[in-house]
Amino acid sequence: MSIYRPWGNVLWLLDKLKIEDWVTLGCIATESRSCTSVANYKDFSSSFVLLKITDPQPLESEAVANAYDDSESQLDSIPEDQKNVIESELMATLDDLEDYVELCVEKSPNVIIDITSFPKRWFFPFIQMLINDVRILNLVAVYTQGETYAATIAENPEPLRPLPGFITADERSSHDHAFVGVGFHDLGMLKLLGDDSVKKLNLMFPFPPGPPGNKKNWKFVEQINRKIGGDISSEEFSEPLSLHFLPALDASEAFTAMSNITRKGQLTSIMAPYGPKPISLAMCMFAIAVDNAGLEDVPVYYSQPQRYAVEYTKNALKSDDGLESWAYALKLNGRDLYTI
Amino acid sequence: MSLNPFFELYAGDRISPDDFVKMFSDVLVPHATPIFAPGNAVVTGKQGSGKSMLLSLLRPEIRLQYYEAGVEFPVPLERRGFLSANVNLAHSSAYDFGLRRASDLEPEDVQLYFADFLNYLILRSLISCLKIYSRADDKVRKEVGLKLKGDECNSIVPALSAHPVWEGWIKPCETINEFDDQLQQRIRGYRRYLHKKVKIIDPEYLATRTTIGEPALIFSQILRDAGAIAPKTHIFIDIDQYEELANILNDKVEGQTVDYRATINKALANRNEFKVSYRIGTRGHAWRNHSKIMGTTAKLEEERDYKYVELDEILIRRENSKSDIFPSFARDVFNRRMVFAKFNVNLQEDLAIDEVYKKSFTPEEKIERLSLRKPQKVLKFDKNFSEKSKKRLLKLAKNNLLSAKLGEIWIRQKGDIEDLDILDSDLPWEKKKYWKKERREVALLQIASDAQQKPLWCGANDIIALSGGNILVFLSLNQFIWDTWILYKGKDSEIRPQLPIIDVHVQSLGVQKASKYWIEKITQETGMSSERSRFVAAIAGYFNKKIFADKKISYPGHTGFSIQKSELFEYPNVREYLEELADYGNLLMLDHTTKNKDRKQRIKFYLNPIFCPHFGIPFIRTKEPYYAPLIDLVGWLSEAGYSISFNKDVDTRPQRLV
Amino acid sequence: MTTLSELPIQWDYAVPGDFYPPESISFLKFMCQKVFDVYEPSQFKPFEYRLIEWLNNLDTEKKQKAFIAVLLDLFFIGKKEFEALYRLLANSIMSRWIIDVESIDVSHPEVSKNILEKINASWICPITDSLRINSFLKVNNLVAKDVRPDWRSLKRLGDIEKIQRFVRTNKIKNLMLIEDFVGSGTQVKNVIKYASECLPKTNILLAPLVVCPDGNSALKKEVKKYGNVDYRPTLILPNSTKFPKKADASKPLHLFLHQIFDEIEHRFELGRDETVTGYKSTGGQVVMHSNCPNNTLPIYHQDTDHWVSLFPRVGRQ
């Protein structure tokens, strides 16, 4: 069995952790699940720092404004003195992000970061700051699944470049491994593989879930297969392209897989965080862990969209057991759980 | 080995120098000589215009690949005397000044930091180039004009490191590696600051900042003074991803945006006494609309400050032009891929593509290959068609459906007034060669549609034309065709060395797949890509409807639209949206010599040919385009989500870097 | 009569009226080569060859195209995908359950070790011999008990006293019952009843890997009857993957397929409770690399004198 890093249904995990005063760092987005997620575990948290992130060029201003209001109204039951709602631009600076982290640390050393609706440009550096801040003792990431994604979830990507804070110290352009999350495909990142040289390409195929989403994933694999002009195999050590089946929700497993494949970071790698957010979370944790272990950096490349769909997802996903909302313990009692 | 010769991604160990030079086509080089000539060069062209291929010839690693493979370096001998630097603004984080809040700084300060950072990146790249060539063969060093060999490079370091241009930040040192380490240290310092590994930028940096372009000039001067390089050896600095600077939304400082392009442009405006010049890759209109120089109100001037290499102009099919370069370029690339894939190909002739796909198919041949069981069913007669004419056309349809269809259209247009009881070749529409030529592509599409089939897109000429002058599209078309062929052929696809003959249906299916792919790909580009995608869909839908509704094919040329130049200039935002569409290759933008009596100057726009198969529009341009009133154009733009104002003073473009 | 010798390239264009989108044949060929070819019960015939034979069961192009359309919706679980399911089961479901029943402190630095210990101390058994228990244990580096009977057999041939003595002697507190695939849940219901009655004081985890919608409903309901059984499936197939028992006018493909099913039913040899939409009309559209469940549409697995299967089934008497 792999190392167990506590994760599971958010209410289950928070109950098990028995910590009283969490501060929640969350995102108020136009999609309702951003706040449905927070509302679900609000009783565990005593204060909230909530960022309302605005796109630089929204298309339908009125629909956007209404969507924000509807979303936020789910948090009306949280007393005003516990909430700090801040409006910020999508392309905020790292200094801005650091200020928001400070607001959290002021409240409590126990932080829940709800990554459900945070763009990667935000949650990657947030998590890096929170992990590396010794004042933070306990850190949990929460992700709530969505129901019915918009046909076009995001538009107008920026040029491909490293995520803020996730570069190499020196411009390394040759890597042993590339890890590509398979998901709502963005073929722009494949340009990276043209510019840099990569010895082995690892496709992280989210499985489970199965149908109906897996057909889309196979179509992405079909595209890569065509572009590489060759043979994709799911044999573990096939060259130069391997397919790895990893549960979409299991960030810990994905982290372990990347760690094993790179021989605990001894081999160099580059990341493209597409696909399910928990897999992206794993990539984030892996890059941070490698950096903290003093090994060669792992750059994370991404084309940041400049506009998101108003109804990115229609609703948060529910089952008979409640909200499909998952918490991942990243740091407990000052101890990093995701280490090399 | 990849099974598909047209793979575009490469993972694994490096391709050998031998393989690399085999795949690399040098057809464009003679047409892009300013890139290798002294003076600044602005190379404009879409992604896929061959820009990257040409600029990569500047790099020492690439030159050495040729030498290792024993293949002649394609740059003309008299132009090979140069050292070079290459800076990728994205990869190096030079883009990333917007990641930090610059609230304590004026916009000019940020620009100064950017300039300094860029200088260090350039110097580091120059040092790397020097090291590489100093360790190369005597022959290479002679061509480059480098007199230093191996450790002799260290001889210039004391003078270089002690130069006042560094304002004392670089400590004098003896070896090139020590010097390089110091450059790297400063670069790292910037990157660590930009990505928040350190809180503030080292104040020493501002105090010791260098002016844009100066260190490179000093480097050149010191090398020349030391006799380290030949007098006619130039230094070329290639700045990559310059064009994407317009797409990065950066922090505003005091309401002003930081202008990185103006900073780089200042380097181009520097005097060139030490033979240092720049190469910048851009998209056409974006460059022409900017050209500002940091610190002045002046703008860069063509010829005085730079030469223009307009690759799109060189490649693309102009009207009546037999001098298109692109077909030879494409054929050469195809040949080389066949050689790489171990097929037998005569490299002296670029005919492999004709062997594999057949050179071309006439519309009649294409219809024949649709294998229609009942071709007569495609014909549609109006009430006024006489029984005699109907019978004649039905009979004709059995062996020449295209002619029969054209006959149907002829009668619909001109009336059923002629006696058709004559030889097939004497039929009136067969005698009017131009009338027929203008209409047969549309007729083909109408036939396929009526027969509930997809039209065929096949033959080397079609595939080259569908590429629209873009080598990436060409590669992609072939990639899809070969991928389909491999899927259907299975193990037989591995047979070597005989070139295969690929069936028309495989070709056509590959083309359809490629067409759909390139349309989907629009939204993955930078800039206002979703608006561009919607605009393309809006006009494609409009023209598709027109084509199929036009039962007389009165307007076969209405596959594109034409706008008066004066109207475009009155509405700058409309013009800039269209220019962006052209810059990204979504539309072809061409001067239009109107047949109108008013003689007003016009510009015409067509969809990129590769989009046409999926949208069901002919890609061959014929006759007059649709003279679109501005209101139509504005309608399409609005439908696409662009915000348009008819108030000429209001600029509704989104605020981005200017 | 349309007898195919290969998949016609013209089908790949997909014209209006076709049941699948353009480029589906290419995609299907890709899936044949990369995914379906590992199907174990027919290793020596390349998958595409079997596909042609299967399509030739039908006499018109329209019917063949409809079968291609429904095949595109098939969920095939390969060996590597199964291993991913095994790992998810152990690392998350079993781990979380053990944390709960053994009150393990998740914040403890040795939580991994504690969990592993408790899992290895549990009794991990398959429900039927279809679940490859050795593979499951190997993939997860688990040892557990070396006696691992399948409980379906145990129910028929086992001795309750012996079982109870085994549990006492080995101080077993937790029983984990795993199954690879649950269709209607009929089989599993019986086994769970038996296990719960046999070991009322033992914590029982019912952990099927893949469950059809019908089976999921049935088991959720069933488990409520027993105080000591927890039901934790790994992958529940959504309702949309179930092939409907009755034709739905809003779905032309299903409507047409039902017509075909009615025509061809006599060519099948359907056992008790088996229908044209699978055992107990589960409407399954799932095939595993090791076998095709009988809950899956019989068009895929029926092998008779009048019907050639695509995924031949290894069944039980």
Looking at residues B515-538, what average pLDDT do you find? Answer: 93
**If you ran DSSP here, which 8-state letter would residue B146 be given?**
B
Best mutation target, B4, B6, B59, B91, to test chain A (most A CBs within 10 A)? B91
- C49–B contact, CB cutoff 8 A: no
Chain C CB contacts of B505 under 8 Å are: 9-10
* Whether B235 contacts B194, CB under 8 Å: no
* Whether B348 contacts B437, CB under 8 Å: no
Chain B CB contacts of C21 under 8 Å are: none
User: Looking at CA atoms only, how far is residue B356 from chain A in angstroms?
Assistant: 18
Beta bridge partners of A154: A308
B95 with A228: Cβ contact below 8 A:
no
Residue in A157, A161, A193 closest to B90 by CB: A161
A169 with B196: Cβ contact below 8 A:
no
Tell me the three state secondary structure of residue B590. strand
Chain C CB contacts of B516 under 8 Å are: 22-23
Which CATH class name applies to C79-236?
A: alpha beta
A186 with A264, same domain: the answer is yes
Q: Measured between alpha carbons, how far is A149 from A28 in angstroms, rounded to an integer?
A: 18
A156 with B528: Cβ contact below 8 A:
yes
A245 with C81: Cβ contact below 8 A:
yes
Per the omega criterion (within 30 degrees of 0), is the bond before A209 cis?
Answer: yes
- A208–C contact, CB cutoff 8 A: yes
A284 closest CA partner among A179, A134, A177: A179
C26 with B509: Cβ contact below 8 A:
yes
C9 with B488: Cβ contact below 8 A:
yes
Contacts of B61-64 with CB under 8 Å at 24 or more apart are: B61/B132, B63/B140, B64/B17, B64/B132, B64/B136, B64/B140
Q: Measured between alpha carbons, how far is B33 from B354 in angstroms, rounded to an integer?
A: 30
CB atoms within 10 A of CB A83: 15
Say which residue the tokens 């595993």 belong to.
C288
The count of CB pairs under 8 A between chains A and C is 95
**If you ran DSSP here, which 8-state letter would residue A240 be given?**
S
Q: Measured between alpha carbons, how far is B516 from B613 in angstroms, rounded to an integer?
A: 8
Go through chain A and tell me how many residues it has: 340
Q: Cβ contacts of residue B290 below 8 Å, gap of 6+? A: B246, B261, B262, B265, B658
B66 closest CA partner among B31, B24, B32, B28: B24
User: Looking at CA atoms only, how far is residue B506 from chain C in angstroms?
Assistant: 7
pLDDT at B318: 59
Cα–chain center distance at C128: 12
A199 with A264, same domain: the answer is yes
B509 with C13: Cβ contact below 8 A:
yes
B487 with C9: Cβ contact below 8 A:
no
Cα–chain center distance at A135: 23
A224 with A249, same domain: the answer is yes
Q: Is residue A185 part of a domain?
A: yes
User: Mind giving me the DSSP string for C13-49?
Assistant: T--TT-SS-TTHHHHHHHHHHHTGGG-GGGTTS-HHH
Q: Measured between alpha carbons, how far is B644 from B635 in angstroms, rounded to an integer?
A: 9
The token pair that represents C50 in the structure block: 């079997």
pLDDT at B545: 92
pLDDT band at B656 (very low <50, low <70, confident <90, very high): very low
pLDDT in tens, B261-277: 888 988 988 876 778 99
- C13–B contact, CB cutoff 8 A: yes
User: Looking at CA atoms only, how far is residue C261 from chain A in angstroms?
Assistant: 24
Q: Measured between alpha carbons, how far is A4 from A6 in angstroms, rounded to an integer?
A: 6
Q: Is residue A293 part of a domain?
A: yes
User: Looking at CA atoms only, how far is residue A114 from chain C in angstroms?
Assistant: 20
C9 with B452: Cβ contact below 8 A:
no
pLDDT in tens, A130-166: 999 999 999 999 999 999 888 888 889 888 889 999 9
Q: Is residue A1 part of a domain?
A: no
- C107–A contact, CB cutoff 8 A: yes
CB atoms within 10 A of CB B45: 28
C12 with B516: Cβ contact below 8 A:
no
Best mutation target, B509, B513, B517, B614, to test chain C (most C CBs within 10 A)? B509
Q: Is residue A2 part of a domain?
A: no
pLDDT in tens, B199-209: 888 889 989 99
A317 with A232, same domain: the answer is no
A266 with A331, same domain: the answer is no
Inform me whether the pLDDT recorded for B157 exceeds 70. yes
Q: Measured between alpha carbons, how far is C208 from B339 in angstroms, rounded to an integer?
A: 54
Residue in A95, A125, A161 closest to B101 by CB: A95
Mean pLDDT by 10 residues, chain C (317 residues): 86 89 94 86 81 96 96 94 96 96 96 96 96 95 93 94 95 96 94 96 97 95 96 94 89 94 95 93 93 94 94 78
B626 closest CA partner among B571, B544, B551: B544
Q: What element of type H or E holds B238?
A: strand B234-240
Cα nearest neighbour of A320 on chain C:
C220
pLDDT at B658: 30
The residue extents of the domains of chain B are 28-315, 362-450, 527-658
Tell me the three state secondary structure of residue B523. helix
Q: Could you say which residues from 39 to 98 on chain C have a Cβ atom under 8 Å away from some Cβ of chain A?
A: 72-73, 75, 77-78, 80-81, 83-85, 87-88, 90-92, 95-96
User: Looking at CA atoms only, how far is residue B4 from chain A in angstroms?
Assistant: 4
| Neighbors of chain A with 3 or more C-beta pairs under 8 Å | B, C
Q: Measured between alpha carbons, how far is A125 from B101 in angstroms, rounded to an integer?
A: 15
A16 with A79, same domain: the answer is yes
CA distances for B7 relative to A173, A194, B507, angstroms: 21, 11, 17
CA distances for B17 relative to A200, B86, B564, B567, angstroms: 20, 20, 51, 53
* Average of per-residue pLDDT values in chain B: 88
Low-confidence ranges of chain A (pLDDT < 70): 184-189, 193-194, 230-239
Residue in C73, C99, C142 closest to A1 by CB: C142
B184 with A229: Cβ contact below 8 A:
no
pLDDT in tens, A182-200: 986 666 667 776 678 888 9
A96 with A183, same domain: the answer is no
| Neighbors of chain B with 3 or more C-beta pairs under 8 Å | A, C
Best mutation target, B2, B10, B240, to test chain A (most A CBs within 10 A)? B10
Looking at per-residue pLDDT, the higher value among B648 and B314 belongs to: B314
C112 with A4: Cβ contact below 8 A:
yes
A219 with C27: Cβ contact below 8 A:
yes
A329 with C75: Cβ contact below 8 A:
no
Looking at per-residue pLDDT, the higher value among B237 and B260 belongs to: B237
Inform me whether the pLDDT recorded for B2 exceeds 90. no
A41 with A108, same domain: the answer is yes
pLDDT in tens, A308-319: 888 888 899 998
Total count of domains within chain A: 2
Which amino acid is located at B394 in the chain?
L
User: At residue A48, what are phi and psi to the nearest 5 degrees?
Assistant: -135, 125
Chain C CB contacts of B513 under 8 Å are: 23, 26
Burial environment of residue B348 by CB neighbours within 10 A (0 to 12, 13 to 18, 19 or more): exposed
pLDDT at A234: 54
A152 with B90: Cβ contact below 8 A:
no
Helix axis angle, A61-73 to A33-41, nearest 10°: 10
Chain B CB contacts of A93 under 8 Å are: 98-101, 251
Residue percentage of chain B with pLDDT more than 90? 55
Q: Measured between alpha carbons, how far is B208 from B189 in angstroms, rounded to an integer?
A: 14
Beta bridge partners of B589: B605
The residue extents of the domains of chain C are 9-72+242-301, 79-236
A231 with A279, same domain: the answer is yes
- C9–B contact, CB cutoff 8 A: yes
pLDDT in tens, B191-242: 999 898 888 888 899 899 999 999 999 999 999 999 999 999 999 999 988 8
pLDDT at B652: 53
pLDDT at C33: 85
Residue A223: give the domain boundaries: 159-303
pLDDT at C17: 85
A237 with A123, same domain: the answer is no
- A154–C contact, CB cutoff 8 A: no
A189 with A289, same domain: the answer is yes
User: Looking at CA atoms only, how far is residue C285 from chain B in angstroms?
Assistant: 25
- A247–B contact, CB cutoff 8 A: no
Say which residue the tokens 């209607």 belong to.
C184
- A226–B contact, CB cutoff 8 A: yes
- C27–A contact, CB cutoff 8 A: yes
pLDDT band at B249 (very low <50, low <70, confident <90, very high): low
pLDDT in tens, B40-58: 999 988 888 888 889 999 9
C22 with B516: Cβ contact below 8 A:
yes
pLDDT at B258: 77
A13 with A100, same domain: the answer is yes
A227 with B7: Cβ contact below 8 A:
yes
User: Looking at CA atoms only, how far is residue A4 from chain C in angstroms?
Assistant: 5
pTM: 0.94
CB atoms within 10 A of CB A276: 26
A193 with B11: Cβ contact below 8 A:
yes
Residue A83's domain is classified under what CATH number? 3.40.50.11700
Inform me whether the pLDDT recorded for B590 exceeds 90. no
DSSP β-ladder status, C229-231 and B256-257: unpaired
* Whether B268 contacts B280, CB under 8 Å: yes
User: Mind giving me the DSSP string for A116-140?
Assistant: SS--HHHHHHHHHHHHH-TT--EEE
C91 with A250: Cβ contact below 8 A:
yes
Inform me whether the pLDDT recorded for B657 exceeds 50. no
A194 with B88: Cβ contact below 8 A:
no
- B492–C contact, CB cutoff 8 A: no
* Whether B479 contacts B438, CB under 8 Å: no
